[in-house]
Structure 1
Amino acid sequence: MKKSLTIILIIGILTMGLFSFFKKEKKIESNTNSAILGMVLLEEPKSFDLNGTVNELRTRWKLKVNDNDTGDLGAVLAIGEYNVAIANIPAAIPEGEVEKTAEYNYLWENGVEETSKHKGHIVLSIMNAGKNAVKENLLYSKIASAVMNNSKSLGIYIGGRTLVLKKDFYQENVEMMTEEDLPLYNWIYFGLKKENGKQSVYTYGLADFGKKEMEIVESESSIEELNEMMFNLAHYVIAYNVTLKDGETIGISAEQKLKISESKGKFLDGSTLKIEY
């Protein structure tokens, strides 16, 4: 009976708009989500080793994993206070959704071509997240890493954050991550724009941490400088649970004071925090 409930639950996740993702009409409400959801892209649909994944979570990450609720199509793992749904789907994600999103992901060279080779995917979700965003995203990174290590996978797709990341890149960030050094490139999309001889950068994913999205608009600084600056600002906001407000200043040194203003988003719907840089 328990196994049947597991499969029903996973199928329920799939039928509740799993693949819906609006790439241009980006939501930016500052609310943590009740679930963290992504899909590991499989080169071979039947390559996933659930037992190997659970063993890695126990041995490498020292996590207490209850894997009693498993079935042929997937599992619901209890890891501490969290329920983690894993569903192995022997089919590509439909309508070219991943490939379209890969067009925007500059961190994966040839991402469109390579993601088009996926023949299956593993749905991976922390279903009852929403208590501690940093803790939960660290946990998710560990689980996703273990799943990719125990399958013939290409990378991971997190549509709700516009992320399509190559396996090697994702794993390198996981290798270096600590509670002080967060793997933000695995969590947040940093959009880069060049217009009229000037450069801009924006975040997409801070809302999942209960924070306002940020934009630096039409700066004279280089794209590389903007990307580094926004990464450092986003890391500070998430790691130290800082809430920035209109009219304040921020900087990555004691001397630096960048003005903050809140207004209608340039690259995102709704209001965002503009950092003057």
Structure 2
Amino acid sequence: MQKLPKSQRKEEPEMSDRFMTMLALESPNFAEGREVIAALKSFAPNVPAEALGLQETETGSPTHLVKIGQTVLAIMYVDQPLPADAIDRPLAYNQTWPGAKAEMQKHSAHVIAAVFKSDESFGGQRQSAVDLTLLTAALIKSHPVLSVIWTAGNTISAPSVVFEALKQISEQSFPLDLWLQVYPYRPPSIPETEKVIGFVTEGLLPFVGREIQFEPAPMPPQDVASRVLNIALYLLSHGPVLKDGETLGMSEEEKIHIRHMPEGAQPGVPILQLMLGRLDRERGESSANDHRSTSFGKRGRA
């Protein structure tokens, strides 16, 4: 273990804003890159991984580079707590971990892990997210980690969630709870007295170039959220395949219209705008361009 000098956040080297995790540490005991790779091998012995050494920055704070598969990742240690602006939003979104705020109050240092170099294709970006998840788990194994923030989705998770996430990853299943945030959305034009709600994702943008914005629909909120999560999982499995003007079929009685919009509830963020409509039973079969035959199933902990 090594101790590094304290550094200010504004002096930290610029790293990828695509996929990055921030790990809150109970104490500032920092592992070398080779120690982190040894930790990775303890639970994933067949994953090709190596330490590439240190990269010095202008501030003099060393950044450890490691390689997992074809992805190069950076590890940077900071001997001070995370700034409030890195914590506030994930805590505000958090609905699944009651102890998150209390754990964050205990931390005294943090680790930043980020994708440094990867394949820019959809498959490459998805693989880099998997590799970052592996690295994050290795950092948890080798450090006194209290919590993990996945910055693309502004999620905050207990360390155990990262290991559960690794068990979920396959060609058709990805750890939505770690990678993705889904929160309620109601445009100003709809009064709060109306019992309709929509949902917006945060975290899909680096994968498919857009977030999902499901417009308020007259159905139970949990049903709307379930549709959003199933569509997100479909996109993570197949890539950015949903085209402007197409429709999705969730059942024999409804369809979801798709529009590509330059931004939505989040300024400057492109979206897949989804709007619920009902099928006309007398209309008969849909056109060949519809995706109504696609079934997204019900979401467990995908």
TM-score, structure 1 as length reference: 0.78
CA distance in 1, matches of 2:231, 2:185: 18
CA distance in 1, matches of 2:30, 2:64: 16
CA distance in 1, matches of 2:169, 2:90: 25
Partner of 2:273: 274
CA distance in 2, matches of 1:208, 1:104: 19
| Higher share in helix | 1
CA distance in 1, matches of 2:18, 2:214: 29
CA distance in 2, matches of 1:232, 1:169: 20
> Per the alignment, do residues 254 and 220 of structure 1 end up closer, same or farther by CA in structure 2, a change over 3 Å counting?
closer
Aligned residues: 253
> Per the alignment, do residues 94 and 242 of structure 1 end up closer, same or farther by CA in structure 2, a change over 3 Å counting?
closer
Shift of 1:240: 0.9
Shift of 1:214: 1.2
Does residue 1:42 correspond to 2:25, yes or no?
yes
Does residue 1:143 correspond to 2:135, yes or no?
yes
Shift of 1:70: 4.6
Q: How does 1:88-167 map to 2 (within 5 A)?
A: 88-95=77-84, 97-129=86-118, 130-131=120-121, 132-167=124-159
Partner of 2:221: 223
Unaligned runs of 5+ in 1: 1-6, 19-32
> Per the alignment, do residues 114 and 69 of structure 1 end up closer, same or farther by CA in structure 2, a change over 3 Å counting?
same
Q: How does 1:181-260 map to 2 (within 5 A)?
A: 181-193=173-185, 195-196=192-193, 197-252=195-250, 257-260=255-258
> Per the alignment, do residues 113 and 220 of structure 1 end up closer, same or farther by CA in structure 2, a change over 3 Å counting?
farther
> Per the alignment, do residues 160 and 180 of structure 1 end up closer, same or farther by CA in structure 2, a change over 3 Å counting?
closer
Does residue 1:58 correspond to 2:41, yes or no?
yes
Residue identity (%): 18
Contact 2:18 2:152 in 1 (8 A): no
Give the 3-state SS of the residue equivalent to 2:12 in structure 1.
helix
CA RMSD of aligned residues (A): 3.0
Which of 68, 73, 77 aligns to 1:84? It is 73
CA distance in 2, matches of 1:178, 1:189: 20
Deviations 1:47-78 (A, max 9, x none): 65755531232343222222251599552112
Higher relative contact order (CA 8 A, sep 6+): 1
Shift of 1:138: 1.1
Does residue 1:69 correspond to 2:88, yes or no?
no
Contact 1:48 1:88 in 2 (8 A): no
Q: Which has the larger radius of gyration?
A: 2
Deviations 1:14-70 (A, max 9, x none): 243x7xxxxxxxxxxxxxx77522211112221657555312323432222222515
Contact 1:232 1:252 in 2 (8 A): no
Shift of 1:161: 2.8
> Per the alignment, do residues 147 and 255 of structure 1 end up closer, same or farther by CA in structure 2, a change over 3 Å counting?
farther
Letter in 2 for 1:275: L
Give the 3-state SS of the residue equivalent to 1:91 in structure 2.
coil
Contact 2:30 2:77 in 1 (8 A): no
Contact 2:210 2:271 in 1 (8 A): yes
Shift of 1:234: 0.8
Give the 3-state SS of the residue equivalent to 2:219 in structure 1.
coil
CA distance in 2, matches of 1:96, 1:216: 27
Give the 3-state SS of the residue equivalent to 2:148 in structure 1.
strand
Give the 3-state SS of the residue equivalent to 1:118 in structure 2.
coil
Give the 3-state SS of the residue equivalent to 1:246 in structure 2.
coil
Shift of 1:230: 0.8
Unaligned runs of 5+ in 2: 56-60, 187-191, 277-302
Give the 3-state SS of the residue equivalent to 1:257 in structure 2.
strand
CA distance in 1, matches of 2:233, 2:85: 32
Does residue 1:174 correspond to 2:166, yes or no?
yes
